[in-house]
Amino acid sequence: MHENSSSFSGQMGFVLAAAGSAVGVGNLWRFPYLTAKDGGGLFLLIYLILVMTFGYVLLSSDLAIGRRTQKNSIRAYQSMDSRCWFLGILTFLVPVLIMTYYAVIGGWILKYAVAFLTGQGGAAAADAYFVSFITNPWDAGFYAVLFMLLTAIIVYRGVEKGIEKCSRVMMPILLVAILLIAGYSLSLSYTDADGVTRTGIQGLGIYMMPDFANLTMGKFLQILLDAMSQIFFSLSVSMGIMITYGCYVRKDVNLNQSVSQICLFDTFVGLLAGMMIIPSIFVFSGMEGMAAGPKLMFVSLPKVFASMGAVGPFIGMGFFVMAGFAALTSCISVLEAITANCMEIFRARRETVTRVLGIVYTIISVVIALGYSVFYVEVALPNGATGQLLDIMDYISNSCMMPVISLCSAILIGWIVKPDWVIQEMERDGSVMPRKWLYRFIIRYVAPFVMLILCLQAFGILL
Ligand code: PFF
């Protein structure tokens, strides 16, 4: 915080910066694959309810804590109550874990951008392309290193601003591209070898219509945990990032409006990405394709582009380049958060910290990228999935640590400093916090209870 005491130029600047951190592979890659894995409409319904309740509460809390304490997460919690020093350390560890695999996914996107740029978009549409890429240690390792180094160099040289400017142009174009591709996905129709015809509109039905048949308590909890972990990841909440952003927000900015705008925008991008990917995977691979997991986006989209004819390779190229930018801005914000905290903890210079972090994370990214070849493991996760190294890191950070952090911070805000501590900050610019009663109710009663259930579920204690 000492080095960078500048603040956002205004509400718009702040919302755009926060949205740049929030919108990334979480929206394009994680949201669609979780929705498909958890059966479409039901996940979507639960997700939307959770964003409007927990998403809004968690984001408001993080931003208010940052603006009110003017401290990074490590010190902020401690200054609210000295017994809560451990919360700062936990929140710091989340980006530390996320960073171990974020560049790997960024590398996957980079690989597809290069494939389309070099005219191999057709080959990328083959079923085996993705698996043969990630199981090839040289190829997978190379792209992870490339993406990681790109991020580290940008943070090292402090040129994030340039990238942000670029992404302000790229983001709206990406949105329009997603919208068009989603529209095209809905118009798809395909008859498979068994003579079964599936359409994009049928796929949309699976995406949008909740199916309550065969819903058990165990399955419901599983969906709840997946949806909640997605909210944490996608909104970048409960990981210190938004606390740091809160420090930079001017006192006269209307935080309530900003929270709504960030939540809306982030959810909208995820929803559209789902509309682009889920109907198309249904059309080309049927219901079996829905359980594809992390490879979903990479398997379905090249097929969509291939079916577009002559313009397909160009649209594919544009899409993956822009998606790469969205991943880069988020990856920068993860590394930036770790860097800022390390500078404070070790009282070190930015250059030294980024150099060390760049080397350490390049090595770790290679290890995670090789988790599908040299370091292959199969671990049954409590959410019903079988995971490799990348999924394990994702599960520990988003499904285990974040509910613990949210449980503790809900107790801290709801019962120790009291909800009005946050509400006062939310109203500092003179605006009135809408749904105050909902905030109080959720932070005091609902959040501790739900987070406790999720913690037990995440650790496999509750079925
Ligand atoms: N919210 C980002 C996404 O949806 O891709 C991911 C992210 C950004 C996670 C920043 C963590 C972080 F610190």
Q: Convert the pLDDT of each residue in 324-338 to its tens digit.
A: 988 998 899 899 889
Q: 331 alpha carbon to ligand 1 midpoint, in Å?
A: 7
Q: 26 alpha carbon to ligand 1 midpoint, in Å?
A: 7
- The pLDDT mean for the chain works out to 92
By most ligand atoms within 8 Å of CB, the mutation choice from 333, 335, 361, 402 for ligand 1 is: 333
Indicate the helix (H) or strand (E) that contains 85.
helix 85-117
Q: How many CB atoms within 10 Å of residue 101? A: 25
**So what's the pLDDT on residue 167?**
73
Of the candidates 54, 461, 435, 39, the residue with the CA atom closest to the CA atom of residue 230: 54
Q: Mean pLDDT check: name the lowest of 30-34, 422-426, 457-461.
A: 457-461
Q: Give the separation between CA 195 and CA 193, rounded to whole angstroms.
A: 5
Q: Which residue type sits at 389?
A: L
Q: How many CB atoms within 10 Å of residue 338? A: 22
- Rounded to 5 degrees, what angle do the CA atoms 433, 436, 441 make? 155
Q: 190 alpha carbon to ligand 1 midpoint, in Å?
A: 35
| Mean pLDDT, residues 202-209 taken together | 95
**So what's the pLDDT on residue 463?**
64
**Strand, helix or coil at 386?**
strand
Q: 235 alpha carbon to ligand 1 midpoint, in Å?
A: 7
Indicate the helix (H) or strand (E) that contains 199.
strand 197-199
Q: Convert the pLDDT of each residue in 347-388 to its tens digit.
A: 999 899 999 999 999 999 999 999 999 999 999 998 777 899
Q: Convert the pLDDT of each residue in 254-271 to its tens digit.
A: 999 999 999 999 999 999
Higher pLDDT, 8 or 62: 62
Q: Convert the pLDDT of each residue in 35-84 to its tens digit.
A: 999 989 999 999 999 999 999 999 999 999 999 999 988 899 999 999 99
pLDDT at 430 exceeding the cut of 50: yes
Atom of ligand 1 nearest to the CA of 236: 1
**Strand, helix or coil at 28?**
helix
What interhelical angle do 296-306 and 312-346 show, nearest 10?
A: 150
Q: How many CB atoms within 10 Å of residue 313? A: 21
By most ligand atoms within 8 Å of CB, the mutation choice from 233, 239, 242, 262 for ligand 1 is: 233
| Mean pLDDT, residues 283-302 taken together | 91
Q: At 266, list the tokens.
A: 């982030």
Q: Residue 292 gets which letter from DSSP?
A: G
pLDDT at 423 exceeding the cut of 80: yes
> Three-state SS across 307-330?
CCHHHHHHHHHHHHHHHHHHHHHH
Q: At 368, list the tokens.
A: 């995670």
pLDDT at 3 exceeding the cut of 50: no
Q: Give the separation between CA 366 and CA 143, rounded to whole angstroms.
A: 9
Q: Which residues of 30-40 are buried (b: 16+ CB within 10 A; e: fewer)?
A: bbbbbbbbbbb
pLDDT-derived band at 194, boundaries 50, 70, 90: confident
pLDDT-derived band at 155, boundaries 50, 70, 90: confident
| Mean pLDDT, residues 212-241 taken together | 92
User: 0.85 cut: is pTM over it?
Assistant: yes
Q: Whose CA is nearest to atom 8 of ligand 1?
A: 330
Q: 212 alpha carbon to ligand 1 midpoint, in Å?
A: 31
Place of tokens 């698996």: 131
Q: 327 alpha carbon to ligand 1 midpoint, in Å?
A: 9
Ramachandran area for residue 137 (φ above 0: left; ψ -120 to 50: alpha; else beta): alpha
Of the candidates 104, 115, 111, the residue with the CA atom closest to the CA atom of residue 144: 104
By most ligand atoms within 8 Å of CB, the mutation choice from 34, 96, 98 for ligand 1 is: 98
Q: 202 alpha carbon to ligand 1 midpoint, in Å?
A: 31
Q: 214 alpha carbon to ligand 1 midpoint, in Å?
A: 33
**So what's the pLDDT on residue 48?**
97
Q: Give the separation between CA 341 and CA 174, rounded to whole angstroms.
A: 31
Q: Whose CA is nearest to atom 12 of ligand 1?
A: 334
**So what's the pLDDT on residue 80?**
96
Q: Give the separation between CA 251 and CA 57, rounded to whole angstroms.
A: 19
Atom of ligand 1 nearest to the CA of 26: 4
The domains located in the chain, with CATH, are 11-374+396-431 (1.20.1740.10)
Atom of ligand 1 nearest to the CA of 239: 13
- DSSP alpha helices (H): ranges in 377-461? 389-394, 402-411, 419-426, 436-441, 447-458
pLDDT-derived band at 6, boundaries 50, 70, 90: low
Q: How many CB atoms within 10 Å of residue 463? A: 12
Longest Cα–Cα distance of the chain, Å, equals: 67
- Rounded to 5 degrees, what angle do the CA atoms 395, 238, 277 make? 55
Distances (CA, A) of 110 to 105, 211, 289, 313, 397: 9, 36, 23, 15, 24
- DSSP alpha helices (H): ranges in 188-311? 200-208, 217-235, 241-247, 255-289, 296-306
Sign of CA dihedral 257, 259, 262, 268: negative
User: What percent of the chain is modeled with pLDDT above 70?
Assistant: 98
Distances (CA, A) of 416 to 71, 436, 437: 19, 18, 18
Q: 265 alpha carbon to ligand 1 midpoint, in Å?
A: 14
| Mean pLDDT, residues 406-414 taken together | 96
Distances (CA, A) of 307 to 127, 138, 174, 192, 341: 14, 30, 20, 14, 47
By most ligand atoms within 8 Å of CB, the mutation choice from 241, 396, 402 for ligand 1 is: 241
Distances (CA, A) of 433 to 19, 53, 57, 116: 21, 14, 11, 47
Q: List all residues whose CB is within 6 A of at least one atom of ligand 1.
A: 21-22, 24-27, 95, 98, 233-234, 236, 239, 241, 330, 333-334, 337
User: What percent of the chain is modeled with pLDDT above 90?
Assistant: 75
**So what's the pLDDT on residue 336?**
87
Q: 269 alpha carbon to ligand 1 midpoint, in Å?
A: 14
Q: Give the separation between CA 263 and CA 234, rounded to whole angstroms.
A: 10
Q: Whose CA is nearest to atom 10 of ligand 1?
A: 334
By most ligand atoms within 8 Å of CB, the mutation choice from 242, 331, 334 for ligand 1 is: 334
Q: Give the separation between CA 217 and CA 224, rounded to whole angstroms.
A: 10
**So what's the pLDDT on residue 4?**
45
pLDDT at 344 exceeding the cut of 60: yes
Q: 234 alpha carbon to ligand 1 midpoint, in Å?
A: 6
Do the Cβ atoms of 23 and 265 come closer than 8 Å?
Answer: yes
Q: 199 alpha carbon to ligand 1 midpoint, in Å?
A: 33
